[in-house]
A = this chain, B = another copy of it.
Amino acid sequence: MTRSSGTVARSLAAELWRLFDAGRFRDALPLLSEDFEAHWPNTRERIRSREDFIALNENYPGAWRCTVRRIEEYTEGVVTVTEIGDGKTGFFAVSFFTVRAGRIAAAEEYFGENGPPPFDRSAWAERY
């Protein structure tokens, strides 16, 4: 991957999250390619068009802020870590965005809720 294609991928991902954070879901449509497809493996869901992807995010219950915490470039795209919260609860999304011809062609996203440790493991881990 050339430096410039990495920068394009990084910008696309950052712009998508900026628009989602602002609740401007429709404005993100042109960032996605016409054959865009998304996979959410935790729930085994496939979203087969960019229109469905935008509609699903738009119809997600609640009002959520999205803050990108990490972006790493890999050969075909970027992976982002985004903290998503509504002021009461929160979760992290890890999103692998495949970029082709200047647009996001695929997304594979993993979601994990925030909360206390599931068992007492304070002998080995400290909370921050």
Contact = CB atoms under 8 A, between A and B. Distances in A.
B112 A42 contact: yes
B125 A41 contact: no
Contact of A127 (B44, B60, B70, B83): B44
A24 interface: no
Interface residues of A, number: 47
Contacts of A108: 70, 81
A124 B79 contact: no
A121 interface: yes
A95 to B, nearest CB: 10
B92 A47 contact: no
A35 interface: no
Contacts of A74: 72-74, 79
Contact of A52 (B48, B96, B124): B124
Interface in A96-128: 96, 108, 110-119, 121, 123-128
